[in-house]
Amino acid sequence: MTTGRKSSRQQPSLSTRDIARIAGVSRTQVSYVLNGTGSTHVSAEKRKYILEVIKKFGFRPDNSAQTLRRGYSSEFAVFFPAPYNSRIANIIGTIHEKGLAGNCVVTQYSWNSQNNPERKNEAFRAMLARRPLGIFCSLLDLDRGDIDEAMAGGVDRILVLDGERHTDLATFYMPFEEIGRIAAAHLLELGHRHIALIRPIDQTQNRIFNLRYRGVMSAVAAAGNTAIDILDFPKIVMGPSLDAAKTVVAALLSLAKRPTALYAYSDDFALPLMRALHEAGFSIPRDIAVLGTDDLPYGELSIPSLSTIRFDEDALGERAVALINSLITGESAEARFFQEPEPYLIRREST
């Protein structure tokens, strides 16, 4: 009796020996390509051909066996807190879109730093338990002790995003200090000599704020005769809100002398602050100029439109992929990917 379903015989799985025979190379060379190692033993042309054979025949290595044999998996871990800002979301999206060398699988590990910091430790332990080939993370979230622990566990391909340069770590450098300098220079050029800075209470933003503040003060020192106030943005669960912005505006109104410009740290803070300032009777930029950072899409749509500072985020994503692939293969990335990203000002109606 038939059921109407066609029977099919399962195709036998291929081994690395089969791939080597089909490609006309040694098993060792196939292993080098699969593991992203031995770049000096396999030419770029031959590596490309082996990968084409692997793709054509649908070969999938036994990840569990490889992990046991090598001591690490084929995963390259991306470790950042959620919710992601637009810059990090773009970088991670590009990594997924472009893919990584050596047949590496991109895996994401996240936690909500604002709700429960202990979740970071849980995510970190889960990541290390998977024995990833490498990690892309931020020293704004992890510290040197965490990096040392990962290295002690055998993870030696680590790319860190940070606002400071490091000679002993592969670093995706972000010029946060330069952002602060550009912000202050712009406001000073417009004639503002009393500037308020917004400081997020969220501890994960501390180092970024301090680096930007250093950049602001370098511009102020060169100009002279400028007053700086720091206003704390209240700690909240998921992100800036109008109620929190109203608290900041109330603090601004209580100052003995009101600033004429406000560097709001990010567009996420600037936009609710502009609404709160408007409700308090301020005209922007006549009474107070407002400047953000990140160039979020809706900043251009606000009334007035928001002046901001941004990076070329597509270029940042491509840079992350190139630097990670360099760690995986041992081959140097193109010189352009080692050039430091340059933030730039977009002036609109709010300044």
Whichever domain contains 52, its CATH number is: 1.10.260.40
300/324 same-domain check? no
Rg (CA), the chain: 25
Q: Are 317 and 136 within 8 A, CB to CB? A: no
105/180 same-domain check? no
Note whether residue 132 is domain-resident: yes
138/204 same-domain check? no
Note whether residue 3 is domain-resident: no
167/183 same-domain check? no
Could you identify the residue written with the tokens 């190379």? 25
Q: Are 124 and 137 within 8 A, CB to CB? A: no
Task: Sheet with 75-79: list strands edge to edge.
Answer: 105-109, 75-79, 134-138, 157-162, 170-173
Contacts of 153 (CB under 8 A, 6+ apart): 128, 131
Note whether residue 351 is domain-resident: no
pLDDT at 236: 62
Note whether residue 349 is domain-resident: no
Note whether residue 219 is domain-resident: yes
Comparing C-alpha atoms, which of 334, 284, 344, 347 is closest to residue 313? 344
Note whether residue 255 is domain-resident: yes
* Structural domain count of the chain: 3
Structure tokens at 71: 């001591």
**Alpha-carbon gap, residue 16 to 30, rounded angstroms:** 7
Note whether residue 4 is domain-resident: no
223/295 same-domain check? yes
137/96 same-domain check? yes
Q: What is the CATH number of the domain that holds 331?
A: 3.40.50.2300
pLDDT at 61: 61
pLDDT at 9: 45
Note whether residue 271 is domain-resident: yes
Residue type, 330: G
160/224 same-domain check? no
Structure tokens at 280: 């308090």
Q: pLDDT of the chain along its 351 residues, tens only?
A: 334 444 444 445 677 888 888 888 888 888 777 765 555 667 878 888 888 888 788 776 655 555 444 545 689 999 998 878 888 999 999 999 999 998 789 999 998 766 667 888 899 999 998 889 999 999 988 999 999 999 988 898 999 999 999 999 999 999 999 999 999 999 999 999 999 999 998 777 889 999 999 999 999 999 999 999 999 998 765 567 899 999 999 999 999 999 999 999 999 999 999 999 999 999 999 999 999 999 998 999 999 999 999 988 879 999 999 999 999 999 888 888 878 899 999 999 999
126/109 same-domain check? yes
Range of the structural domain that residue 123 is part of: 70-173+313-341
Structure tokens at 123: 């995510």
191/291 same-domain check? yes
258/305 same-domain check? yes
Comparing C-alpha atoms, which of 49, 63, 62 is closest to residue 20? 49
pLDDT at 71: 47
pLDDT at 205: 84
158/75 same-domain check? yes
pTM of the complete model beyond 0.95 = no
pLDDT at 185: 98
Structure tokens at 109: 């590990």
Give the H/E segment covering residue 48. helix 44-56
**Alpha-carbon gap, residue 285 to 271, rounded angstroms:** 13
Structure tokens at 136: 């892309």
162/239 same-domain check? no
pLDDT at 44: 79
**Alpha-carbon gap, residue 339 to 96, rounded angstroms:** 22
pLDDT at 68: 43
